Amino acid sequence: MADLTVRDVTLAAPCRAKADTCRIIVPVTALLPQPAAALARTAAAAGDLVELRLDALADQSPAGLAWAVQTVRRAIGETPLLVTLRTLGEGGAADLDPAAYTAALRALCAGAGADIDLLDVEFSAGADACARLRAAAHEAGAGVVFSAHDFRTTPDTGAMTALLTAMADAGADVAKLAVTPADPADAARLLQATAQAAALRPETPLLTMAMGPLGAVTRVCGAAFGVCASFGTAGAASAPGQPDAAALRAALSALAACRGGR
């Protein structure tokens, strides 16, 4: 892998990541497609990419999910769109087992794949499901974010590094890991694991964060450790600890200035 460019936005590989290349992803959650579209317009103005959280929608049918994606795409124009269907086990609202989850995302790729720039695929779905969803997304012209979320703990540093490298080896266009720190040391270990994964797989863009107040620092300084993007809000947050997008952009700019963009 290497830098991933979606429309006109580049997600930098770790070997080229720095503070002034860190992109801002703004999440959108709503019960209905039209309110989601209105929120997405605001999100597109505030960030570099928009994330549509499909698990927040009232209509979870294949047609309903596809319509929501298409409606948001029309609202945001050429802003890159990350589409996520987050399951209960990974902190979302979609009550789906791996088979149903895989079927839902395959149907989405078939019904609205042309409107998706990046598709979030939960790595816990299993190797076979991830491979099939990666193939379906790529066939539709979308990149794949393999993701993992721990809303209870921060795993061992080596385990986090191994998970990120496993995602890269499985063909992730972006490897994402979110954890929950119990203390500042946990947040530091997340950054250490990110740096280790960046060194081991320098051509796969990484997206990591420690959630909640204790992990807020990782959302700002992650780019210094190889992270390609960070989540910021323009309204409601989709996970604990997401900062306001404007404040995040100012912090990233200050970090870039202090480090000479490196």
Residues recognised as catalytic:
149, 176
Residue 241 CA to residue 262 CA, distance in Å, equals 25
Q: Which of 30, 101, 96 is nearest to 68 (CA)?
A: 30
Residue 212 CA to residue 35 CA, distance in Å, equals 27
Residue 5 CA to residue 28 CA, distance in Å, equals 21
- What is the helix (H) or strand (E) element at residue 25, kind and residue range? strand 23-28
Q: What is the dihedral of CA 61, 66, 67, 68, to 10 degrees?
A: 90
Interacting residues of 16 by C-beta distance below 8 A, sequence separation 6+: 3
